Amino acid sequence: MNLHLVGCSHRSASVDIRERLAFSRMQTEAALRALRTAYPTVEAVLLSTCNRVELYVAADGAGDLPSHPQLVRFLANFQGLDDRDVLGHMYQYSGADVVRHLFAVASSLDSMVVGEAQILSQVKQAFAVAQEQQLTGPVTHLAFEAANRAAKRVATETDINRRRVSIPSVAVADFAKQLFETFHDKHVLLLGAGEMGEETLRYLRDEGVQQIVILNRNPARAKALAQRVHAEVDTWQQLDARLTWADLVVSITGAPEPVVTAHRFHDIHCRRNQRPLFILDLALPRDFEPAIGQFNNVYLYCIDDLKTACERNRLAREKEWPKAQQIVTEETERFVADVKHRITGPTIRRLKEQAEELKRDELRRLLNKLGDTDARTREEIERSFDRLVNKLLHPPLESLRDEASLGSPTRLLEALRHLFQITD
């Protein structure tokens, strides 16, 4: 398989590197167009999320496939970076290893939060964008279709997707859902603009939250995050007003002292008219004084409150990990076998058809010359012809299957087509 992958993720690169390499939807489209200009014969899919940037490319011939350094250089230069600054943070795969990695990514086995649901839809969206830009082809179509199948198997045959392990996922799914039956009409306030806050917002978006406001002492960071998660931004001076407005607060400011004291919250609480308020305080030191949790209809949780649930879910997930990995292995082997069959199948089929046509012609000619023969004799002659054809075809077909099992049947396919004058 002529497949290459270069990429970086939370496992290989810092947030700074990932941010500098990240592609928006418009940038992805432009990059794919530029790639098509630079390498007209390749198929390509560019996947960019908050935790990874990956470029998948495929080609009919190995000579048409850009090298790993060329692909790294392309990504870096497109974003105005020196490839030498990012090369050490990029992983590189080829052939079946690309497929195995893609299946693990789509199945959420390579995610920061194993089992998170968003990644499969992001993989599908990346393929759809590449399709719109006419960069997909037979290999990428097969690979991404198979990735969807692998992800669905992991989701249905294991409990990986049912057991949350990150603090934000546990907070939303195991705690906030106990308070709120629905989220589409809830007002969400985020204090701070860090990764964990962003992750929590993404979980809330998946639950149907529509109204999000971000407050941060650094307006530029708040605005950048708001663009990524489609939220609004307000000034820090509106903190009290927004706490009155909110139904759910996520706070992770990094402030050295509490942002909201119990004394300050007293007036806010009076203006809320007993409306329930869920506060997820992910900051260390904490942003909300613990005493705020004693106010009526206020549900305040800090990191320590969630650790037990996180650890319980993590241990349960570990039991499912080998099963999920086995599914990825099985689907990778299935894909590789399917690709080999698709590569060699048409030639094998045409060779057999060609041999069958010659056998029929010669058999008919012989039987016509022999004249009247009994059925038993005719049957024996036909079996002899069949055995002869099978014995003649066995060595070349066996050699072709051996080459395919090694992953490099192209040269032998061309030789067989030439020697036996096989036409498409």
Answer whether 128's CB lies under 8 Å from 145's CB: no
Q: Active site includes 50?
A: yes
CA separation for the pair 41, 305 (Å, rounded): 55
Q: Vertex 195, ends 191 and 201: CA angle to 5°?
A: 60
The residues, any chain, with a CB within 8 Å of residue 164's CB and separated by 6 or more, are: 113, 115, 170, 173, 174, 310, 313
Torsion of CA 71, 336, 113, 89, to 10 degrees: -20
Q: Vertex 144, ends 140 and 145: CA angle to 5°?
A: 115
SS3 content of the chain, % helix, strand, coil (to 5): 60, 10, 25
Q: Give the H/E segment covering residue 213.
A: strand 211-215
Closest by Cα among 219, 211, 218, 266 to 244: 266
Given the residues 50, 270, 302, 310, the one annotated as active site: 50
Range 67-78 burial, b when 16+ CB lie within 10 A, else e: ebeebbbbbbeb
CA separation for the pair 26, 30 (Å, rounded): 6
Q: Catalogue the active-site residues.
A: 50
